[in-house]
Amino acid sequence: MAQHPMKVVLLDLDGTLTKSDGGIIGSVIKTFEELGRPVPDAAELRRFIGPAIIESLRRNHVPAEDLDRAVDIYRSYYGDRAVFDDPNEPGNKVPGRLVNVVFPGIREQLLKLHADGYYLALASCKPEYQCIPICDHFHLTELLDGIYGASKDNSRLDKDQVIRYCFDKIAFDAAAGDKAVMIGDRYTDIDGAHACNLDAIGCRWGYAPAGEMEEHGAYEIIEQPEQLEDAVNRYFEMH
């Protein structure tokens, strides 16, 4: 574990490190079809990217008695069933989690942040058992110091719960001078950070509807991945 005081950069996955909409939306469509329910429109489908899947299913009026089954169906398409076209290898079929690409510039920014001495922690509302193989597959694991996600049983679901779980695992100690900032593209990242008395830097290249990050109080919003290191350094210089 890093010595105190440490500076922690918490990083969201979907819409922040990777462009993952194709696999998530494809898996959501398959889920609604299998449930025999109307598929949400395109704007609503995009809102599935970021929050916990069960939260989005509830918002789209999936009855309480069908939620567990709906989550299982979604996870099977997203995690296991190779029915989608691979954007990285045309002609190959992959599960939803691999219909995904790392945003250009992200790898270079993570290398720079690491060289600057930050502890880089993935903090995702996606279940941890899904985050790890995605990061492995896209060679992000070696650029991160830790991978922290939601629990499979929904006991750790929201971003603030994931952040607290991460802090517990890395022995984060504000009293010893440890500091952290959240990097993400949706309201869940900002609200989760605020619930843990942290600030959040918003990523414009992700999936937030217009005005969402401003409305939820992002500390700063950056337009391109190439701006990440500068924004993080600027933040820690001020705090």
Give residue-wise pLDDT tens across range 182-206.
999 999 999 999 999 999 999 999 9
The answer to whether residues 134 and 156 belong to one domain is yes
| Interatomic CA distance for residues 181 and 25, integer angstroms | 29
Does residue 153 register a pLDDT over 90? Answer: no
Q: Give the domain range for residue 33.
A: 20-98
Q: What is the pLDDT of residues 87-102, one digit of tens each?
A: 888 899 999 999 999 9
149 pLDDT higher than 60: yes
Task: Select from 98, 117, 140 the last residue of a domain.
Answer: 98
86 and 113 share one domain: no
Is 173 found in the same domain as 226? yes
- My answer on whether 92 and 114 are in the same domain is no
Q: Name the pTM for this structure.
A: 0.92
Domain assignment present for 2: no
Q: Is residue 1 part of a domain?
A: no
Q: What integer is the mean pLDDT of 152-166?
A: 93
Amino acid 29: pLDDT: 98
Whether residues 91 and 187 share a domain: the answer is no
The pLDDT assigned to 51 comes to 86
Question: Is 172 found in the same domain as 92?
Answer: no
| Shared domain check, 58 and 13 | no
| pLDDT score at 2 | 56
| CATH number of the domain residue 122 falls in | 3.40.50.1000
Looking at the fold, whether 76 and 155 belong to one and the same domain comes out as: no
Separation between Cα atoms, residue 166 and residue 41, nearest integer Å: 35
Treating both helix axes as pointing N-terminal to C-terminal, what angle do 21-35 and 67-79 enclose, rounded to 10 degrees? 140
Q: What percent of the chain has pLDDT over 70?
A: 99
User: Do residues 111 and 170 share a domain?
Assistant: yes
- Domain assignment of residue 89, yes or no: yes
Digit-coded pLDDT (tens) for 5-59: 999 999 999 999 999 999 999 999 999 999 999 999 999 999 999 888 999 999 9
What ranges in the chain are assigned the alpha helix state H? 21-35, 42-46, 53-59, 67-79, 106-115, 128-137, 159-170, 187-195, 212-215, 228-238
Residue 91 lies in a domain: yes
Q: Is 38 exposed, middle or buried (0-12, 13-18, 19+ CB in 10 A)?
A: exposed
Statement: residue 112 has pLDDT above 70? yes
Same structural domain, 210 and 138: yes
Let me know if residue 42 belongs to a domain: yes
Cross-strand pairs, 93 = 85
Half-sphere exposure of 108 (CA within 13 A, CB side): 8
Q: If you average pLDDT over residues 153-166, what whole number do you get?
A: 93
